[in-house]
Amino acid sequence: MKTLSGAAKHAVSKDGTRIAYDAVGEGPVVILVGGAFSYRTFPGLQKLAKLLASDFKVINYDRRGRGDSGDHRPYAVHREIEDLNAVIEVNGGFARVWGLSSGAALALEAASSGAGIARLALYEPPYLAGMKGPVPPAVQRAQLERLLADDRRDEAVKYFLRLMGAPGFAVAMMRIMPFWPRLRAVAHTLPYDAAIMGDYSLPEARLASIRIPVLAVGGDKSPAALQEAVRQVGAVVPGGESRLLKGQNHNVSMDVLAPVLKSFFLD
């Protein structure tokens, strides 16, 4: 899938995969790590980049397998950590990082592995925080891979959205919306997000090893499990804090989120 943006810059990951990114603004480097379905031309990510660009140099990149970035099989989570490291290195070697949903979990894994992250902000990493999901994680990933092997991309998107709690009628409506092709285009990367989340349990030992300031943010209208995950991340990370934004859910308003990130990253 090709994006509609102008010529991208590239970082080269450890395995040789080219990772595409855009850069806007001037100042300290902030890198945006998208979640499932996200890539650098996704409207929400572009809006957040624009809102932060008055204070920062904002790097918005395509995770592997998405947009203009390459890929390498077999997939492994450590390759995505290496991708983020490569983007950090080519932009000065040290950065503030924000991650969304499974991208937040990926950023936490990178921070625990010693990536050059100065401060880390997260929006609703989807840990179950002690609760059980409706389908065992191993079954989820296997079913996604079966659907994709049969080229049933629409069904893979539908299956994933239902797993994430979207009602059936909402998914049916999404399928006739203009943004559905964007979701379908990156369906093959959904098993990657499933691999990052593992069994969806909070990785307490790894979080406790992080030695940088971490802000976990969520919405007070989000499901209870996500709110609890935000609280627990803030509590387990030694330099962590948490905050719930009034009136927000998993589809956060970037106008509401941006001032919170600016304050944290400029502290």
pLDDT of residue 242: 98
Question: What does the pLDDT average to over 146-170?
Answer: 91
Q: Average pLDDT, stretch 211-220?
A: 98
Question: Residue 122 is encoded by which pair of tokens?
Answer: 């997260």
* pLDDT on residue 152: 97
Give 91-135 pLDDT, tens digit per residue: 999 999 999 999 999 999 999 999 999 999 999 999 987 665 556
> What distance in Å separates the CA atoms of residue 176 and residue 180, rounded to the nearest whole number?
7
Q: Which of 94-98, 179-183, 244-248 has the lowest mean pLDDT?
A: 179-183
Predicted structure pTM score: 0.93
* Contact assessment for residue 207 and residue 236, using Cβ atoms and an 8 Å cutoff: yes
* Angle subtended at Cα 253 by Cα 170 and Cα 227, rounded to the nearest 5 degrees: 75
Q: Whole-number mean pLDDT of the chain?
A: 93
**Residue 218 pLDDT class (50, 70, 90 cuts):** very high
Would you list the DSSP string of 123-166?
A: E-----TTPPPSS-HHHHHHHHHHHHHTT-HHHHHHHHHHHTT-
Structure tokens at 125: 């990493």
Residue 127 tokens, joined? 């840990």
Mean pLDDT across the stretch 221-227? 92
pLDDT tens-digit map of 226-239 = 999 999 999 999 99
How many percent of the chain have pLDDT more than 70?
Answer: 95
Structural element, H or E, at residue 78: helix 77-90
- pLDDT, residue 87, reads 98
pLDDT band at 217 (very low <50, low <70, confident <90, very high): very high
**Residue % of the chain over a pLDDT of 90:** 81
Tell me the mean pLDDT in the region 244-267: 97
Q: Which domains does the chain have, with CATH numbers?
A: 9-131+200-266 (3.40.50.1820), 137-193 (no CATH)
* Calpha distance 165→87 (Å, rounded): 32
Residue 6 reports pLDDT greater than 60: no
Per-residue model confidence (pLDDT) at position 163:
83
pLDDT of residue 134: 59
